[in-house]
Amino acid sequence: MDISIVVPVYNEQDNVEAVYSALSETLKGMDCTYEIVMVDDGSSDGSYGVLARLASEDAALKVIRFRRNFGQTAAMSAGFDYAQGDVVIPMDGDLQNDPADIPRLIEKIDEGYDVVSGWRRDRKDTFITRKIPSLLANAIISRLTGVHLHDYGCTLKAYRREVLEGINLYGEMHRFVPALACQFGARVIELPVNHRPRIHGVSKYGISRTLRVILDLMTVKFLMSYSTKPIQLFGRWGVYTMLAGLGSGAMTLYMKLFEHLSMNRNPLLILTGFLLFMGAQFIAMGLLGELNARTYFESQGKPIYVVKDRINLG
């Protein structure tokens, strides 16, 4: 299979047939084998009925149905797991992503890139509630991950299959796949894509996810920088905190010896004890994290590196 299109669907009864038709038209015009994997994320309308009817007429359409609504990341993850294509392309199920952009994504993959991320440069969404939060979020994500993209939130992307095989998705982490892939040495490029206004229905994934995205960003930052060396994060802060505690203790002694201020009346004594205890806690957390990291990698036989090519090796 050359290409797998993954489409999460949640209450998109009025859109799924149009999405399928547009995808089929584009893919049939390309010289490739393909499949369309649509994941019904527990829709409560007639989305699954439409998908089932379309799938009975076209074997290239594969349908996965969840028992309940698990969220966009879970739907994306299921699509990735079942996809068989060498290139996997997720896109929204509301027709705001344009299937006509798929050949351009494939061209970039053929040039040697591992991840091609769509950029909705002319985004057809509300300015206050969608565009401004998106601009801020993309700037923060780019800054913290070191992978500078204008539009992490654009679902339309293209991935080489091997890039996705080492990535497990939780929470709202589907948007961070380019950053996680870059951690394993993937070549990432951004490509401006068409973005169309929604015609039917309303958006199911809005600004309410902001807090979850922020928390997942913290997780991604930790995974990218310290997943194999947690002691360097917690131990560093532990040392800084203990040094601050020693400084506070020294000031307490100075005030006792030279200014004759009773130690039990000096709030710095309490601060000294608190900082020293907190520093010890940070270091203990780092050591426990080291034990967990070793258990994770060694129990599953996972290496801490990723090999791209091998020559004359089995």
| pLDDT tens per residue, range 134-161 | 888 888 889 888 899 999 989 999 999 9
Element counts in the chain: helices (H) and strands (E):
10, 7
d(CA 120, CA 104): 14
Question: Regarding the domain delimited by 3-226, which CATH topology (the fold level of the hierarchy) does it fall under?
Answer: Spore Coat Polysaccharide Biosynthesis Protein SpsA; Chain A (3.90.550)
Lowest mean per-residue pLDDT among 107-116, 204-213, 220-229, 295-304: 204-213
What tokens does 253 get?
Answer: 């002694």
Q: Which amino acid is at 230?
A: P
pLDDT in tens, 86-125: 999 999 998 899 999 999 999 999 999 999 999 998 887 7
d(CA 193, CA 123): 9
Q: Which residues contact 77 (CB under 8 A, 6 or more apart)?
A: 168, 169, 174
Adjacent-strand bridge partners of 8: 39
Domain ranges, ordered by start, for the chain: 3-226, 230-299
**pTM of the full predicted structure?**
0.79
